[in-house]
Amino acid sequence: DGGKRALPGSVRTHYRVDLSPADLHVHALACMPMEAMVPFFRSCPDAYIFTGEGAGRGTLRFFKSGAPEGFVPFRDAVMPDLEDLWTMKGIPLERDTWEAFEEIFDRHAFESDPSVTGRYYEATFRYYASLNIQHVEIRMIFLGGPEESRLKAEAIRSAYYKVMEDNPGFSVTLIG
């Protein structure tokens, strides 16, 4: 197929070069690609997404019991414009890039819950290990106080050790 690969649910075609083994540099809230992110969040019973109109559309949040008006369980959501909202695909070329990134990151800023953080990074690391990515370097932003940052780092470290059991050559570096 010449390296062409269509993403599930997407009309876009992506070109992929197989670099085996490979290293990858990603940013924390954008380290899981869309093709893996949607199924992952659909599997999380506490994941909700805002489906209303306006600036909050596409905002992902986790709620243990009930959600504010406008949020529906992610597994039940039908949002054909989600890729536009969560990636640069929907951003006009004349738009300020960093401002657009901030909006995207705000839509799926979920790292305040260590259990969600751990599940997310474990799924992300397993995804990349399955592609023969040997090393992932993650640009992190540690918001909140020292305790929140410590819990987040522990969740990521725990996810890494779980994945490393099956993939001993896999490694991760966090950059603050």
pLDDT digits (tens, 9 = 90+) for 153-174: 888 899 999 999 999 999 998 8
Share of the chain above pLDDT 90, in %: 19
> pLDDT confidence of 107, banded at 50, 70, 90?
low
pLDDT of residue 5: 40
- The dihedral region occupied by 12, where left means phi > 0, alpha psi between -120 and 50, and beta the remainder, is beta
Closest CA to 151 of 115, 125, 175: 115
Worst-scoring range by mean pLDDT, 53-57, 77-81, 90-94? 90-94
Tokens of 31: 């380290």
Residue keyed to tokens 């592609």: 131
Q: pTM, whole model, 2 decimals? A: 0.74
SS3 22: strand
Q: How many helices (H) and strands (E) does the chain have?
A: 5, 8
What pLDDT is stored for residue 170 in this prediction?
92
